[in-house]
Amino acid sequence: MNFLTKLTLTLSVIFLVTGLKAQDLQRKIPSDALVVATLKGKNMLELMSTNEFNQTFLGKKILDKVSRSAKNKVNQVEELGFNLSADFYYYNQGNDSVSYHCLLAPVKNAGKLDELYTSSGLKFNTAGSWRTYYNQDSTELTRWNENILYFVKGEGKTTYLYPAAQTSIGITDTAMVAADSTIVDTVAVAAAYDTREIQEPAVRKTKATKTKTSGAKKKGKVHSKKHKARPARKKPVQIKEEETDPTEAVAMADSVAAAPAYEIDNSYSEQLAKKKAVIARCVQQKADDFITKGESGSILDNKDYVNSTDQHAEISVWIAGLDRLIGGYMPSNRYFDGKSMFKGYGSVVAKLYLEEKNIKIGTAMHFDQDMADVFKKVNKRKLNKKFLQYVNEDKLIGYMAYAADTKAYLEAYPKIISRFYGSTYGDEIEMASDLFSLLLDEEAVSKVVKGDGLFIFNGLSQKEVSYKSYEYNEENFETKEVTKTKKETLPDFLLMFSSEDHRLINKLIAYGVKKNFVKNDQGYYEMSIPKSPLALFFTLKNDMIFLGTNANEMAQIAGDHYVGKISSRHKKMLNNANYAAYFSSKKLAGKIPAEEFGNTAKVEKANKILTSIGDIYMKSDPIEGNAISGEISMDIPSSQQNALKYLFSLIEEAKK
């Protein structure tokens, strides 16, 4: 990929998009696109002006690289030829053999783009109002006019050029198909031979070379140094960037693809050249179709995609189907079938919101009705509200909570496994599912472990621990065992989960006490772990099991003396979500022992970064309809104007 193509992609990820109407550009995306990503340039510009971006570290770096490549000073992103106030799109499209990565960006000033390519020494071809630039092997193509820039890159898949995939590539020419069959015949041999050729070049048998020598001929020996003849390696055809045009690219593809098979030691490189030649033809056809075809079959005809669009999101990503995505990039075999394993997993949507007070990523995954019914049963449980009594925000640094119905999950597990692997191991999965249901009493298991839990992280602490070492006496050549001490950094946490049936737990406690692994200490227990500096304490209370590292805290829980403190924000998130997590890096700052960093400067830098990061929240809501939604958000410090400028400030700080 040439530099300007990479630059186009990089700028598009930031906010370089064009001034055409978003719907006009969106209609150029085909209806069978697998992935569509959208960037709202107008939203970006409302958060950060182009002048402000030009002064950022990232802006300066991009402009510097463009200037050095074009050999002309470029002072601002506006000079790159793009309008900065509308939408940009990336989409992925493919078939059984080739995957296409496509980029759409409307153009404000095509002359600026022309100048950048020309000053960089990159020759492009002009046909009517369209300019076209090819990379070295023509597997990438950039085409633009006064209104739009279109970039497409073709990649061959694992099933590439095998007979079943010929039609999907669109190869109908008889000579081309014949040439491709040669590739199919040689690919297995070439793949097996490739590793050996790298280590030791193959030697082709040749006729003995006659050498005139005095005296040696009579004895039938040749005293001169023997040489093994090596076959001449034919270099693959290369296209110089400054000499490439569409006609030459197609002609080159025809000539290379129609070439006969070479010697076995050269088959891999020729195989690769032929593959790239066919990809070049496919890329050319894709680019031609983009211009000649109308707006029929647009992605806007897909209701699922249209419903996923959001004008308030700065960046959106839509995936047509998780089963299609996995199946398209992970080819099936006897052990794995991506489409079957993820059958029932539908479209996926992710959206990035850059707001004044926080950064937020919203996600949603859709399922078919069968899978949706499974998740509705599994996620019907809520977190035990009694857990909230043991949350203390004064020392809380983070937590993670999960609520699911164990019984519903165990009952649905065989069905889920059958959907994943049933197409490959149907009979085996059915027998395993029957055995699973026979051995497990789902009702009994769900009483021991109901399926909800809360993990609370309260920080880090240091503990001085003793360990055994050996000292060597050089005078008498003897070693003796000595006891030394060192400081260990240990986590401080509290874990709790619901349990109605304590009979098994009580038996385990009695066994541990008998074997001296567990110590009964007035309402709670201490559990020793061999060769571990971490001491664990646990207790059973009110249909809950508590496990933690703080003896005083465990004693308070056992004696009903624990005093909790929780805000309405955390209470709401824990009560309403099936999954919830929180982390405050500011509260962790200053609590990491200096020994973990090595020197004071690193400690100060780490604490400064931790202090600058806002609180992070994660949650997953119960299924609604046939979709599970989730959200990740990070608070913005009050000193920052908005999320985008805050992100750039973090980049600047990381650079320092």
CB neighbour list of residue 333: distance below 8 Å, 6 or more residues apart = none
- Residue-wise DSSP of 219-269: TT---SPP----PPPPPPP---GGG--HHHHHHHHHHHHTSPP--GGGHHH
pLDDT at position 497 is: 94
Q: Is the pLDDT of residue 629 over 70?
A: yes
pLDDT at position 178 is: 38
Cβ atoms of residues 386 and 557 within 8 Å: no
Q: Is the pLDDT of residue 396 over 60?
A: yes
Share of the chain above pLDDT 90, in %: 34
Q: Is the pLDDT of residue 581 over 60?
A: yes
Query: Which three-class secondary structure state does DSSP give residue 127?
Result: strand
pLDDT at position 193 is: 32
At residue 260 the predicted structure's pLDDT band, cuts being 50, 70 and 90, is very low
- Written as six digits, the tokens of 216 are 């040696």
Counting Cα atoms < 13 Å in the Cβ hemisphere of 123 gives 10
Cβ atoms of residues 453 and 460 within 8 Å: no
CB neighbour list of residue 279: distance below 8 Å, 6 or more residues apart = 98, 139, 154, 155, 156
Going by C-alpha positions, the residue among 167, 567, 575 that lies closest to residue 393 is: 567
pLDDT at position 524 is: 92
Residue 550: CB atoms within 10 A of its CB come to 17
**pLDDT mean over 513-520:** 89
Share of the chain above pLDDT 70, in %: 74
Q: What is the pLDDT of residues 203-254, one digit of tens each?
A: 333 333 344 444 444 444 444 444 444 444 444 333 333 444 544 544 444 4
Average pLDDT score, the chain: 77
**pLDDT mean over 504-509:** 90
pLDDT at position 421 is: 64
At residue 185 the predicted structure's pLDDT band, cuts being 50, 70 and 90, is very low
**What residue type is assigned to position 622 of the chain?**
P
At residue 144 the predicted structure's pLDDT band, cuts being 50, 70 and 90, is very high
**pLDDT mean over 512-534:** 85
pLDDT at position 639 is: 85
For residues 571 and 54, the model is more confident at: 571
Q: Is the pLDDT of residue 113 over 60?
A: yes
Taking the chain, what is the end-to-end CA distance rounded to the nearest angstrom? Answer: 30
At residue 197 the predicted structure's pLDDT band, cuts being 50, 70 and 90, is very low
Q: What is the pLDDT of residues 322-374, one digit of tens each?
A: 878 876 666 555 555 556 667 778 899 999 999 888 999 999 999 989 889 98
Region class of 589: left (phi > 0), else alpha (psi between -120 and 50), else beta: beta
pLDDT at position 237 is: 36
At residue 294 the predicted structure's pLDDT band, cuts being 50, 70 and 90, is low
**pLDDT mean over 444-464:** 88
Q: Is the pLDDT of residue 438 over 80?
A: no
Beta strands at 544-548 and 478-498: parallel, antiparallel or unpaired? antiparallel
Q: Is the pLDDT of residue 22 over 70?
A: no
- Written as six digits, the tokens of 588 are 């962790």
pLDDT at position 484 is: 81
Instruction: Kindly list the domain boundaries of the chain, sorted by start residue.
Output: 3-158+294-314, 163-199+231-291, 315-368+631-651, 452-625
Q: What is the pLDDT of residues 59-106, one digit of tens each?
A: 888 888 888 877 778 777 777 777 778 789 999 998 878 999 999 988
Q: How far apart are CA 482 and CA 469, in angstroms?
A: 5
Structure letter (DSSP) for residue 550: -
Cβ atoms of residues 90 and 28 within 8 Å: no
Residue 41: CB atoms within 10 A of its CB come to 25
Q: Is the pLDDT of residue 262 over 60?
A: no
